[in-house]
Amino acid sequence: MSAFTTDRETGSAGTPSPEKKRKGRRRDRATDQRLNWRLRLRRDRTLIIMTVPALALIIAFNYLPMFGAVTAFQFYDYLSGFFHSPWAGLANFQQLFSDSNFWHAFENTLVLSLVQLVLFFPVPIALAIMLNSVLSTKLRSFFQAVVYLPHFFSWVLVVTLFQEMLGGAGLLNHVLRLNDMGVWNIMTDPGAFKYLVTAQAVWKEAGWGIIVFLAAIAAIDPNLYEAAAADGAGRWRRMWHITLPGMRGVIVLMLVLRLGNALTVGFEQFLIQRNAVGSGASEVLDTYAYYYGVIANNYGLGTAAGLFKGVVSLILILAANKLAHYFGEDGLYRRSR
């Protein structure tokens, strides 16, 4: 989620005297350049050894699958493995692009992503601004403790809770029945599905999302508020002209991340509910890849769908970042200088 940490780590976060530290760094670098690489390797070998276990896991479970993506160009055969499966050329992609189910899943993904962007994205920002105006520290920390909590629940649990509240046998419908207002099983209504999943996502993640925005607000210089108040700006004006612009960088960053993940709309969430609402409303690229790949044993097709998604996502990240630069923000990574 945050490659942006790495670009900024060279800064002197939280040290009292950045000047002194910078000087120290320069000396280090000079020393490093005098030492030849053999000496440096010997000096740092413990550090390198320490990274080996993680590196091994990453290579085994992240890099091998990357090369395993050649499966998209193969008729993968369970018994022959990567190396002996017959080549398919672009046949998998041809099949993929001529499959109306795939385009349906693609369309669903985009629509759901858009709905989530519009209905989900502003919620944590609004919550953070509202919470920031609460003065009582006790109330604040209680509120934070409660709204962070759902982030740590599994999707199975969240869907279960929604089922019990809104489902056909759930609380809402029970109340509706008691008042003779008919029954509306939201959990199995394809038309309501995109709003249902967005509501679930908001319930689960919006509280957690406010952390970043609270930090951004906390970083705003209080003198700005005082000056604005002295100039006669009321609380709404101060929010509009100081708080929001102060959060701008973080908002843009989150937007970039969101856009880069536009094709990932919540795999587990959809998988769990696919049976209930049917594939028409709930099929997205990830579930498509899962069902056609793992379940239907068409590994080549599933991989092709995954690869397509990966490539488009990468393009989206780069484009969104470009857009962020255009608006004068850092985005995910900085402009090369």
- Applying the rule CB under 8 A, the residues between 274 and 333 that interact with another protein are 275-276, 286, 289-290, 293-294, 299, 302-303, 306-307, 309-310, 314, 317
User: Are the CB atoms for 252 and 329 separated by under 8 Å?
Assistant: yes
User: Are the CB atoms for 68 and 82 separated by under 8 Å?
Assistant: yes
Q: Which residue in 116, 114, 128, 118 sits closest to 208, CA to CA?
A: 128
Residues 85-144 contacting another protein, CB under 8 A: 127, 130-131, 133-139, 141, 143-144
Among 124, 150, 266, 331, binds another protein (CB under 8 A): 150
**Nearest distance from residue 203's CB to another protein, in Å?**
7
Does residue 240 belong to the site contacting another protein (CB under 8 A)? no
Cα–Cα distance measured from residue 124 to residue 227, given in angstroms and rounded to the nearest whole number: 27
> Contact region for another protein (CB under 8 A) — 28-36, 87-95, 98-106, 188-196?
28-36
* Smaller CB separation from another protein, 138 or 337: 138
Cα–Cα distance measured from residue 12 to residue 276, given in angstroms and rounded to the nearest whole number: 52
Q: Which residue in 71, 84, 81, 78 sits closest to 303, CA to CA?
A: 71
Does residue 183 belong to the site contacting another protein (CB under 8 A)? no
**Nearest distance from residue 198's CB to another protein, in Å?**
14
SS (H, E, C) 75-114: CCCCCCHHHHCCECCCHHHHHHHCCHHHHHHHHHHHHHHH
Return the exposure string of 66-75: e unless at least 16 CB atoms fall within 10 Å of the residue's CB, then b: eeeebbbbbb
**Nearest distance from residue 272's CB to another protein, in Å?**
6
Among 18, 23, 24, 122, binds another protein (CB under 8 A): 24
Residues 67-86 contacting another protein, CB under 8 A: 67-69, 71, 76, 78, 81-82
* Smaller CB separation from another protein, 114 or 248: 248
